[in-house]
Amino acid sequence: MQLSNQFKTLLSALVVLAAMCMGSSLAPAQNQSNPAAGAKSQACPNDDSGLALPAGFCATVFADDIGHARHMVVAPSGVLYVNTWSGRYYGNDTPHAGGFLVALQDKSGAGKADVIERFGETVQSGGAGGTGIGMYKGSIYAEINDRIVRYSLPAGSIVPSGTADTIVSGLPLGGDHPMHPFIISAEGLMYVDVATATNSCQLKNRTLKSPGADPCTELETRGGIWRYDANKTKQTFSMAERFATGIRNAEGFAIDSSGRVFVMQHGRDQLHSNWPDLYKPDQEATLPAEELLLLNPRGDYGWPECYYDAFVQKLVLAPEYGGDGKTIGVCAKKIAPTAVFPAHWAPNAMVQYDKKQFPARYRDGVFIAFHGSWNRAPYAQGGYNVVFQSLAGDRASGQCEIFADGFAGAVKSPAEAKHRPSGLAVGPDGSLYVSDDIRGRIYRIVYRGGSGGGAANVTACPSAAAPAGNPVEVAAEPPEGTHPDAGAAALPVPEGATRETVELGQRIYRGQVGGAGCTGCHGESGQGTPLGPDLMGKKWLWSDGSYAGIAKTITEGVSQPKEYRSPMPPMGGAQLTPDQVSALAAYVWALSHQASPNRN
């Protein structure tokens, strides 16, 4: 049918208006298109990042496959330094040769690193890499194992030629959070995160209804920020240098123009899993909020006794210490956060923007890299993005906005994400760098101009008090069958079970029955994640792989994992009946006994 020019014009206007209305929605960013996508290819001809950014911003892949890239710092010369990590969190894969620290330089000015050099400790020298890295008085400071060391840079070289000086040693290792991010102030004060070994200081970590240790002696050496002198060598970790306490895991640091130090805290996990009588299944996904904290000397921020509930906008008493989801108790005396964000998004890095390349509005706050959740299963996972939070002094100024998204690709989950933001740094020219610790990618984001100075068509972060939504229906895909819609019907059946039992087990595994969140640790199809093992292979860590053995492991849980950092509570933290345990065991057995599993 032919359309008149006037009608075409009207139709085009209506389409544009509809797109503008959709762009202003407060729905999570993964459900929205980028408002600037139409013009982006023209404004950013070299953008190969796949990221969704506000209008006027462009990104390039600065480097790829450099190792499990964690935190970064940029020298005044523009050389980017990255600390990389290894170990069981990444499946004990083989690190790159040449050292865990990486120097990257763009000599040609094309937005790509054309010089990559490695230095520092290696596996052969006993190193395992690290997260924290910084620069002070022209030297590189880096975390390696239980130490923070200093490398002097000789003139004319981007890597050191000598050995490192130890600034502080004896930092606690092991447990749920063994990393030591840090930041150094202009005065040389080095603030170090010494995160907790446990989720909530239970007598039995991550275990159903296990009470909290009282007192929590873990706080003597973990769960806070320690402060050292970056100018001094051979300092030793002790309680004397503790600056603030009650902080579970602060991987992101920022210092503003007034010298105030902010940290981002990872909130606790498993409120419903460990306390199902007190919390509903959807509260596993929505509580507690992630917190931006302003550090005060000798400040107490509440862990493990308290967590922040964004629905009541208060710190509330944890169930391990007598809380019922409503009681405030001792939490009234703890320090509340400056800003809060959706639960379990996992803030891995933060940086204050203090340059002039980006529009002025970005100089009033912080960028935060959210690594992405696992503990929201069976509901949709969240995070896997970089957000901007404006600040007015020591308080949040308005709701945060999604600044960069698209890192994960089509699916936001620990098993399926292609890339996960892990570090942030600002270059001397004002460019923003983002690291990825899955495939070792470094992104470089620049501002090329455009209408609104970067303020138009921004996507607001979902509220920290947003509902969890509906459980995610995971489509059946290979390797769970020989064709995309085969599902559990194509899986083998163990002796003593039925086809219906395996199908029920699949629904339990995916959280559709019983309230278990198996996909968060083991992946949507049992392919494994950094948090939990592959269930499709023949390697069994806690049983002989038999139907009965698998059921026994599910029932008892795994309190001390052999190859993973976090325990598995009995029945995955759910309240499963014996029949449901049998069904789940049958499904896991079936996953490992497929005729030709596709391991991707």
CATH number at residue 202: 2.120.10
Cis peptide before 215 (omega within 30 of 0): yes
**Does the residue 294 lie in any domain?**
yes
How many domains would you assign to the chain?
2
Pairing of strands 401-404, 385-392: antiparallel
Same domain, 300 and 375: yes
- Amino acid identity at 424: L
Same domain, 267 and 146: yes
For residue 515, give Cα distances in angstroms to 20, 88, 442, 518, 533: 38, 28, 37, 9, 20
Q: Is the dihedral of CA 245, 248, 250, 256 positive or negative?
A: negative
- Domain housing 130: 124-422+449-460
**Does the residue 17 lie in any domain?**
no
Q: What is the DSSP letter of 497?
A: -
- Among the listed residues 149, 26, 131, the one whose alpha carbon sits nearest the alpha carbon of residue 466: 26
In contact, 399 and 459? CB cutoff 8 Å: no
Same domain, 527 and 412: no
In contact, 49 and 61? CB cutoff 8 Å: yes
Q: Supply 188's token pair.
A: 């040389």
Same domain, 410 and 497: no
**Does the residue 145 lie in any domain?**
yes
Q: Is 37 exposed, middle or buried (CB count within 10 Å of its CB: 0-12, 13-18, 19+)?
A: exposed
For residue 55, give Cα distances in angstroms to 32, 345, 465: 15, 25, 28
Angle at 247 between CA 244 and CA 252, to 5 degrees: 95
Q: What is the DSSP letter of 258?
A: T
CATH number at residue 531: 1.10.760.10
- Among the listed residues 360, 364, 341, the one whose alpha carbon sits nearest the alpha carbon of residue 352: 364
Same domain, 518 and 391: no
Q: Which residues contact 39 (CB under 8 A, 6 or more apart)?
A: 55
CA 593 – CA 93 distance, rounded (Å): 25
Q: Supply 45's token pair.
A: 């001809």
Q: Supply 253's token pair.
A: 């640091």
**Does the residue 51 lie in any domain?**
no
CA 321 – CA 376 distance, rounded (Å): 23
CA 290 – CA 110 distance, rounded (Å): 37
Same domain, 373 and 503: no
Same domain, 455 and 534: no
Rounded to 5 degrees, φ, ψ at 350 are -150, 150
For residue 313, give Cα distances in angstroms to 265, 319, 464: 16, 18, 10
Same domain, 453 and 519: no
Same domain, 391 and 539: no
Same domain, 129 and 208: yes
DSSP codes of every residue in 96-159: PTT-SEEEEE-SSSSSS--EEEEES--TTTT--B-S-EEEETTEEEEEETTEEEEEEPPTT-SS
**Does the residue 35 lie in any domain?**
no
Same domain, 276 and 410: yes
pLDDT at res. 29: 38
pLDDT at res. 455: 60
**Does the residue 212 lie in any domain?**
yes
pLDDT at res. 312: 97
- Among the listed residues 239, 207, 240, 246, the one whose alpha carbon sits nearest the alpha carbon of residue 224: 246
In contact, 572 and 522? CB cutoff 8 Å: no
Same domain, 453 and 509: no
| Each residue's pLDDT expressed in tens, for the chain with a length of 600 residues | 444 444 344 334 433 333 333 333 333 333 344 444 444 555 788 899 999 999 999 999 999 999 999 999 999 999 999 999 997 778 778 899 999 999 999 999 999 999 999 999 999 999 999 999 999 999 999 999 999 999 999 999 999 999 999 999 999 998 999 999 999 999 999 999 999 999 999 999 988 899 999 999 999 999 999 999 999 999 999 999 999 999 999 999 999 999 999 999 999 999 998 999 999 999 999 999 999 999 999 999 999 999 999 999 999 999 999 999 999 999 999 999 999 999 999 999 999 999 999 999 999 899 999 999 999 988 999 999 999 999 998 999 989 999 999 999 999 999 899 999 999 999 999 999 999 999 999 999 999 986 456 565 789 999 999 999 998 865 433 333 333 334 566 789 999 999 999 999 888 888 778 777 788 788 888 888 877 888 987 778 878 889 999 999 999 888 778 777 677 878 877 778 999 999 999 999 999 988 654 433
CA dihedral 548, 553, 556, 557 (to 10 degrees): -160
- Among the listed residues 228, 244, 457, 266, the one whose alpha carbon sits nearest the alpha carbon of residue 335: 244
**Does the residue 360 lie in any domain?**
yes
Write down how long the chain is.
Answer: 600
In contact, 582 and 549? CB cutoff 8 Å: no
Q: What is the DSSP letter of 277?
A: T
Prediction pTM value: 0.83
In contact, 232 and 188? CB cutoff 8 Å: no
Q: What is the DSSP letter of 58?
A: E
Q: Supply 482's token pair.
A: 């020989």
Per-residue three-class SS string for 354-384: CCCCCCHHHHHEEEEEECCCCCCCCCCCCCC
**Does the residue 244 lie in any domain?**
yes
Count of other CB atoms within 10 angstroms of residue 589: 25
Q: Supply 157's token pair.
A: 């070289």
pLDDT at res. 452: 54
pLDDT at res. 532: 83
